[in-house]
Amino acid sequence: MLNGSNTTPLLANTKKKRLQMYRKISTVLLLAFLLSGKAAQSQHKFKIEADFGAALPTNKDLKEIFVLGLSASIGPSVAVVADRFYIKPTAGLKWFYKEIEEVNSVTEHIRTWKAGVELQYVLLRKNEFRVSPLVRLDHNWLSNYYSETHNFNPITNTSTTATSGDLFKGKAFSTTVGLMASMEHVYFKVDHEFFSPSLSVNPDILNEAMEQGFIINPKQSFNFNSLTISLGYAYLLR
């Protein structure tokens, strides 16, 4: 049985050993954290992704005018969490067009320039094959106009193209959700864009309608939702 005179130094020694043990554990945990962070950092990748594809309107009214359109985007993609979570600033274009008169190839266009950011998460990975859900937010600049082709020369195969002023124009945000499947440098992407901008009507159209006794709202809302199917290439920089 221990007496009181020996209890105090024994307790002090026990506390000292525990303190040393806690320091060792803390050191190991800190080293493990730093090493895991370094490993994650070594897996970070920087790549340039560019894709091109077809856009299909999903809104009934838009489908009656445009059957198919073009879509393209490009941007740097950066892995920020252990090669799982990617952030990609993007620039792109979506272009619907349809010839409405064969004479002079009169064509209606809806052209949208895009700038935004895309988030990707690698949900499934097996060797070089990956499946990644994605979400994107874009700021859009849209214009609706007509074009005509004149003075076609069959010898030189050249012509002159004239465009009208914008019938409708405006800027608005859109959101996109989709899925991407990639194998090494090549990827296949399917996504759906939700885009309902409020566009300004050309003042000449407003004045002409007023002269005929009609009043048109200078702001018109449209549903430009669309499904895009794209094929892309990723150039790995790091």
Query: pLDDT confidence of 21, banded at 50, 70, 90?
Result: low
What are residue 106's DSSP bridge partners?
101
Tokens representing 143?
Answer: 């214009």
Q: Which CATH number fits domain 45-236: 3.20.20.70, 2.40.160.20, 3.40.50.300, 2.40.160.40?
A: 2.40.160.20
What are residue 172's DSSP bridge partners?
140
pLDDT, tens digit, 9 for 90 and up, residues 187-231: 999 999 999 999 998 888 888 888 888 888 889 999 999 999 999
Model pLDDT, residue 34: 47
> Distance (Å, rounded) from C-alpha 39 to C-alpha 164?
57
Domain ranges of the chain: 1-42, 45-236
State whether residue 59 is helix, strand or coil. Answer: coil
Tokens representing 90?
Answer: 């993007």
> Hey, what amino acid is at 65?
I
For residue 192, CA distances in Å to 28, 61, 90, 133, 210 come to 47, 17, 16, 12, 38
Model pLDDT, residue 147: 84
Instruction: Name the DSSP letter for residue 167.
Output: S
Tokens representing 125?
Answer: 């990975």
pLDDT, tens digit, 9 for 90 and up, residues 23-47: 655 554 454 444 444 434 435 478 9
Cβ within 8 Å of residue 120, ≥6 positions away: 77, 85, 86, 88, 132, 133, 134, 180
Please name the residue that has the structure tokens 């050309």: 202
Model pLDDT, residue 17: 52
Query: pLDDT confidence of 83, banded at 50, 70, 90?
Result: confident
Look up the pTM and report it: 0.74
Please name the residue that has the structure tokens 């300004």: 200
Residue 11 has pLDDT above 60, yes or no: no
Phi, psi for residue 123 in degrees, rounded to 5: -85, -40
